[in-house]
Amino acid sequence: MPPESPVAVVELILALLGVAALLVVVARRLQMPYPILLVVGGLGLSLIPGLPRVRLDPELVFVLFLPPLLYPAALFTPWRDFRANLGPILLLAVGLVLVTMVATAWFAHRFVGIGWGAAYVLGAIVAPSDAVAATAIAHRLRVPRRIVTVLEGESLVNDTTAFVAYRFAIAAVVTGTFSLGSATAKFFAASIGGTLVGLAVGWLITALHRRLDDPPVQITISLLTPFVCYLAAEAVGCSGVLAVVVCGLYYGWRSPEVVGSRMRMRAVPVWEILGFVLNGVIFILIGLQLPDVIAALAGRSLREVLWFALVILVPVILLRVLWLFAIAYLPRLVRKNYRAPSWRQVALVGWTGMRGVDSLAAALAVPLFVASGAAFPDRDMVFFLTFAVIFGTLVLQGLSLDPVIRWLGVVDDREWEKEERRARLKANQAALARLREIAGQRPIEPSTLQRLTSEYEDRIVQLESEESAEGEARDGLFSEDYERLTEEALDVERQTILQLRNGGVINDAAHRRIQRDIDVAETRLRREQAG
């Protein structure tokens, strides 16, 4: 039974957040992508006798979870790399999603006995991959940047394809009618309309931020943007998911021109925290609802249930691998000058097909009833098979991805480091030239000018030496000695101002201001160390 009072619900949600935080700490200590441990933890919680379960209204799941998950993913997408790899991204995010949806529906209908309508709903739910676990490992092991871009771009666009198809499949089951021609026309209308709504909201938000310089207000607007965009698109019958993605891409490209440094430094951590909370809550919630699903399948044997899970999981995994090799090497038959990618990279991308939060949200959002008032057909089986695919892909592929990457010998070409170093060099050279230009135009305190020019000259010398040192693969902009000494110096600064505050020499406000400057310097150093 669900909790009887709102206070009990709040207490349970807070407890779940605490469990999620603890599981993430454990996952990081084990060097494991945290979604894997969250899904295992959710399953474990579901086995605790008497633990109350939180029931969410399926209609609210899309509104509550999808917009704030999709928007930051689009917001921080590297547009240049995304556009350069648009071909393979679309082949995965559109072609593979549709093929997986149809194939999964066939297997579910043929071997599980689910009706065609519910089977297509299941196919749309498990078709999109989630790159959270895959990119977490890929970033840590430094695989080529192009692989990470393709994975992130795919996980962004495939949500749009899958959820538009999902909406049509749900509507067909609920109403009991379906027309391919009408669905196709509505698909394009919803896509075009969603794109226009996303661009319109993105333009309005960009114009609004251009006129503001108030981080708390701007962050509030930023948090509201995906919800406004989604609801506006849905209100006019368009794709809210696509609108959120387009809005995020547009604003993400324009934001460096209109947003100040204070806003950027505060907004990024807010989105990181929100993403963590949403991921943790939704993974735990799915585990708490498993007993109901298992109870609904009580008439079936364990062997039969496991067979149903495998008959969906295995095709989902194998189809992705086959599709990747097909689109990578079949063009050789028609294009003589075609340069196929390395089979090792193709195999790696093929093995990174984990399902995650998006599939969970879609499964939770399946309606309880159809238009006639009858229960949604096979809803419990759809829910169970969705969890089986998520659990199987996260555990099997997620845990094996690290050794697979090492076995394949896929390593980063570090081209992004060279590109970043050249950009830093040009930026510092331009800044130094401007300082010298200002010195010739108006009187400047010599000591101030000397200090600034010396800092830029030192950076330029360091960058030029790194640029000329070919073959030296080293993370960070500065030497290890420089980084270590800077860390120790900053630590001494921090301890000194703390002693001054404790001794009453400075007040807390002064301490916080100085500490913030030290923290900013330390943050910059850590970013350099991370490369």
Give the whole-angstrom CA distance, residue 156 versus residue 89. Answer: 9
What pLDDT sits at residue 1? 44
Give the whole-angstrom CA distance, residue 435 versus residue 139. Answer: 37
Q: At what angle do helices 116-126 and 357-364 cross, to 10 degrees?
A: 150
The answer to whether the beta carbons of residues 218 and 210 sit under 8 Å apart is no
Q: Which of 108, 87, 94, 49 is nearest to 288 (CA)?
A: 49
**341 phi and psi, to 5 degrees?**
-70, 165
Q: 261 in helix, strand or coil? A: helix
Burial (Cβ within 10 Å: 0-12, 13-18, ≥19) of residue 301: exposed
Cross-strand partners of 375? 369
Alpha-carbon distances, residue 305 vs 37, 115, 300, 308, 359 (angstroms): 23, 17, 7, 5, 20
Its pTM stands at: 0.81
Alpha-carbon distances, residue 53 vs 26, 56, 290, 362, 511 (angstroms): 24, 10, 10, 19, 45
What pLDDT sits at residue 229? 95
Cross-strand partners of 35? none
Mean pLDDT for each consecutive 10-residue tract of the chain (531 residues)? 59 79 84 76 75 66 83 85 88 93 95 92 92 62 80 85 87 80 79 93 94 90 94 90 91 87 84 82 71 74 89 95 91 77 89 84 84 87 89 85 85 73 84 84 79 83 70 52 78 88 85 84 68 51
Q: Which of 231, 244, 161 is nearest to 199 (CA)?
A: 244
Q: Which of 187, 265, 257, 179 is nearest to 219 (CA)?
A: 265
